[in-house]
Amino acid sequence: MAILLAPMEGLLDFTLRDILTRAGGIDRCVSEFIRVSGTLLPESVFRRIVPELSHASRTPAGVPVRAQLLGSDPSCLAENAARLASLGPAGIDLNFGCPAKVVNRHGGGAALLDEPETIARIVAAVRRAVPAAMPVSAKMRLGVSDASRAVECAQAMVCGGAGELVVHARTKLDGYRPPAHWERIAEVREAVRVPVVANGEIWSVADALRCREVSGCTDLMLGRGAVAWPGLALAIAAHDAGQRHGDLGWMQVQALLPAFWEIVGRHFEARQRAGRLKQWLNYLRRHFPQAEQLYGEVRTLHDSRAIDALLQAACLPPQARAA
């Protein structure tokens, strides 16, 4: 019962991959998309978005990372996939699920779900371009405005050579609005002969169990739910193992904040750093009431040194604060 960490542009990048895989329970990650548009990208672009490529394609915690490509031109995607493959990713994933307008108006992401023939050509071109032993997978939504072609698109991906599908149980039009239609994943799973991973609206262990029951999938991909509750994957894995405990409490999550802030400080410009911390704290307060106060204190700060001091004080063990 594998648990995957989702790619989410602007949120789940290498910084949170590092921290969330430290928390435990995650078996594999997929990077945020690398956009391919008419040119052969230099190696530096792949390494910037997926810095794990310089470390055997694993996070510091040792969790493998597949690199995701997004585009609409089969030849150009194949050329870039070959270069990416030479860098040794844990696999190559293809994005047929991004609902962003800026991506879709150029024919990428979920917009391709109205063109199953193009999807099949893209997957086949990438599959031919990379070594046979390298996994090629695909992530899709149910469709553009409805799910009427979900099975057709999934079959096109498998026909092209995808060895695994992740299905986000919403359409492009749905965006991220609940609910996720897990029952439609079951239709896809029954129509293809490759592993299918269920994704969408999994915020708790109860959601995970219900998603498995409705979709028929044993493997899950977590996105915003894992950002809001870094112990979610661990809690699901503990349940699967028949263990009573396996969660991270607020004290353990709070202890991860300085490490996250340190990584952000090393890799982002000063003007971007505070926003990244506020973004994560905003998600954390959905699961942890204790995060509300810290979010309120950080929300008005922009200076890195002031945030350093606040985190040092807030994240000290209780006995150290008392002293």
Catalytic entry in 29, 98, 153, 217: 98
98 tagged catalytic:
yes
Question: Residue for token digits 């905003």?
Answer: 282
Catalytic residues: 98
